[in-house]
């Protein structure tokens, strides 16, 4: 297995740079430190996953990277420009699909075009292509209530990709889905990544999901969230579900599991 990297990696050509980032929230019982001096770099086109226990600051880190929440200390650079406000170069997918019930599938995807003032005719062509790519061709005029949870999340992904963002931020996007649907969406996401030059920052609690999708997996400590280890995933692409049974895949998964066991996040009896 390829050796794990140290906690801070200098890639030499970073697109996203998170530098000594900390976040402290006020509370009645005193300040709560959610993140503590996080430093991460992400290359263009790289798939990076954040894994760690609930409450370790994964989602907070993503919101700061999006420019939607301010840091208490440290900074974030994108293409060497400091992030000081909400970024417009990104797409965001949350665990909740956040679709509007009164709009059709196509109309929900087109919200992105309307909000950004895109050429609507060109955007509709792209929206239909994206929907077809995730198996939703023919569902353009359906309403969210008639879709399964997995189908709704596919719509959400298409909406996030409509403006061809350079950076896609995904916060537990498959967490609420059943195992089979989750597997299919993981494969769909891999296919989307293979045809588009997009950097993805992905939050998940699933070790297998992180290993399957990622170029690197960043393992975080319990709160306050720090970088415990960064693991380079050296597996060929495209990846298949059967690959999860390979010794190499199992080795990466076990390496992450051993970190959680050593930190008391998980306990074996």
Whole-model pTM over 0.85? yes
Q: Is the pLDDT of residue 107 over 70?
A: yes
pLDDT in tens, 192-213: 878 777 899 999 999 999 999 9
User: Are 179 and 18 a contacting pair, CB within 8 Å?
Assistant: no
Task: Give 146's DSSP letter.
Answer: G
Report the percent of the chain where pLDDT is more than 70: 95
Q: Which residue has the higher pLDDT, 257 or 264?
A: 257
Distance of alpha carbon 255 from alpha carbon 57, whole angstroms: 21
CA distance 154 to 90: 17
The 8 Å CB, 24+ separation contacts for 86-89 are 87/167, 88/116, 89/165, 89/166, 89/167
pLDDT digit string, tens, across residues 41-88 = 999 999 999 999 888 999 999 999 999 999 999 999 999 999 999 999
Query: How do the domains of the chain map onto residue ranges?
Result: 14-89+166-262
pLDDT band at 241 (very low <50, low <70, confident <90, very high): very high
Which two tokens mark 235? 């597996």
Q: Which CATH architecture has domain 14-89+166-262?
A: 3-Layer(aba) Sandwich (3.40)
Mean pLDDT on 238-245: 94
Task: Tell me the sheet residues that pair with 78.
Answer: 16, 81
């Amino acid at each position: 297995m390829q050796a794990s990297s140290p906690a801070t990696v200098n890639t030499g050509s970073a697109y996203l740079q998170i530098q000594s980032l900390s976040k402290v929230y006020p509370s009645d019982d005193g300040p709560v430190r959610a993140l503590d001096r996080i430093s991460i770099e992400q290359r263009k086109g790289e798939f990076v996953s954040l894994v760690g226990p609930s409450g370790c600051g994964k989602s907070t880190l993503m919101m700061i990277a999006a420019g939607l929440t301010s840091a208490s200390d440290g900074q974030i650079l994108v293409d060497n420009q400091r992030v000081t406000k909400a970024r417009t170069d990104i797409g965001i997918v949350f665990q909740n699909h956040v679709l509007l019930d009164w709009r059709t599938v196509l109309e929900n995807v087109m919200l992105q075009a309307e909000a950004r003032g895109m050429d609507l005719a060109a955007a509709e062509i792209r929206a239909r292509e994206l929907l077809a790519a995730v198996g939703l061709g023919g569902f353009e005029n359906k309403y969210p209530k008639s879709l399964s949870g997995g189908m709704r999340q596919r719509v959400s992904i298409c909406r996030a990709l409509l403006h061809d963002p350079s950076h896609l931020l995904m916060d537990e996007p498959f967490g609420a889905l059943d195992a089979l649907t989750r597997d299919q969406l993981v494969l769909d996401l891999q296919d989307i990544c293979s045809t588009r030059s997009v950097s993805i920052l992905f939050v998940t609690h699933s070790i297998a999901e992180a290993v399957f999708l990622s170029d690197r997996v960043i393992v975080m400590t319990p709160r306050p969230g720090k970088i415990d280890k960064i693991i380079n995933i050296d597996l060929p692409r495209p990846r298949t579900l059967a690959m999860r049974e390979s010794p190499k895949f199992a080795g990466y998964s076990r390496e992450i599991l051993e970190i959680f066991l050593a930190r008391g996040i998980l306990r074996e009896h």
